[in-house]
Amino acid sequence: MDACLDLTGQTIEVIVGAKKHVPFTIHENVICASSQFFKKAMSGEWSEAKSRSVRLADEDPDVFHIYTQWLYHDTFPVRVDKPGVEGNAEYLLLAKAYVLGDMLQDGNFKDAILDAMVEKTESKLSNDTTLFPVGPVIRHIYDNTMESSEARRLLVDLYTEHGRGDWLRKRASREDLPKEFLYDLVVAVLDKRYWRYPTRAPVPDPCAYHQHKADNSICYKNRLAQKPRKRQRT
């Protein structure tokens, strides 16, 4: 949002949603100063400029509402401190808002959304824990953004820096973990480990992978050591 909101000039109507057609009335100056999409749509060549009405059939009115709240009040109307599914639903709403910001070509809005996500990872929930975005949030971002997306990078960084195996094992279903995310994450984790511990770690004890389990004394290597081994020609 601009520091000095320009409430002069005319308003336009934005009709949002496929099933429900929810109308929003917004100042043209306000939305065009923030969104390149609207700036183009209202630039004169398009029919939207004449009708002063823009139809966003593929967008969710609840998500567009978040955008208008931010445009006019510089805030997000959501703030859930409940753990689990409800807390994650808020992340999902932010993820959807981010994708909307991509479509509207509003860089400041996208930045503000990512800041809200980071802030949410730092804020304590009602049960004194913190919550990071899990499965469906990752899926939504990866399904709807480009490879170079900053939102993808944030998710990978959050997992690389703070993640635990349980986040994937227990909190996410496998269908919600896109292959590209897992690839990005593994690369980031390996790089991080390498640069933090660049000296080579000791090779693991090979017996750790043998069939004999705990009792190393019955290892096949010991058996061979006891018998003199015949040399065989190949």
Which among 47-55, 147-155, 173-181, 199-207 is the span making contact with Zn ion, rule CB under 5 A?
Answer: 199-207
- DSSP code for 26: E
User: Of residues 57, 207, 218, 225, which one binds Zn ion by CB under 5 A?
Assistant: 207
- DSSP code for 36: H
Which among 8-16, 20-28, 34-42, 214-222 is the span making contact with Zn ion, rule CB under 5 A?
Answer: 214-222
* Rounded Cα distance, 64 and 37, in Å: 14
Q: Give yes or no for residue 182 binding Zn ion (CB under 5 A).
A: no
Q: Which is nearer to Zn ion, 44 or 204 (CB)?
A: 204
Which among 34-42, 89-97, 185-193, 200-208 is the span making contact with Zn ion, rule CB under 5 A?
Answer: 200-208
* Rounded Cα distance, 89 and 137, in Å: 8
Q: Which is nearer to Zn ion, 65 or 210 (CB)?
A: 210
Which residues between 34 and 63 bind Zn ion (CB under 5 A)?
none
User: Of residues 1, 15, 189, 219, which one binds Zn ion by CB under 5 A?
Assistant: 219
Which among 119-127, 136-144, 171-179, 216-224 is the span making contact with Zn ion, rule CB under 5 A?
Answer: 216-224
Minimum CB separation of residue 220 from Zn ion in Å reads 7
Q: Which is nearer to Zn ion, 146 or 214 (CB)?
A: 214
Q: Which is nearer to Zn ion, 175 or 205 (CB)?
A: 205
Q: What is the DSSP string of 45-108?
A: SSHHHHHTEEEETTS-HHHHHHHHHHHHHSS-S------HHHHHHHHHHHHHHHHHHHHHT-HH
Q: Give yes or no for residue 210 binding Zn ion (CB under 5 A).
A: yes
* Rounded Cα distance, 16 and 38, in Å: 14
End-to-end CA distance of the chain: 78
Identify whether the C-beta of residue 152 lies closer than 8 Å to the C-beta of residue 184: yes
Closest-CA residue to 28 (of 4, 53, 46): 53
Q: Which is nearer to Zn ion, 166 or 215 (CB)?
A: 215
Minimum CB separation of residue 230 from Zn ion in Å reads 22
Query: Tokens 């986040």 — which residue?
Result: 167
Name the residues that contact Zn ion, by CB under 5 A: 207, 210, 219
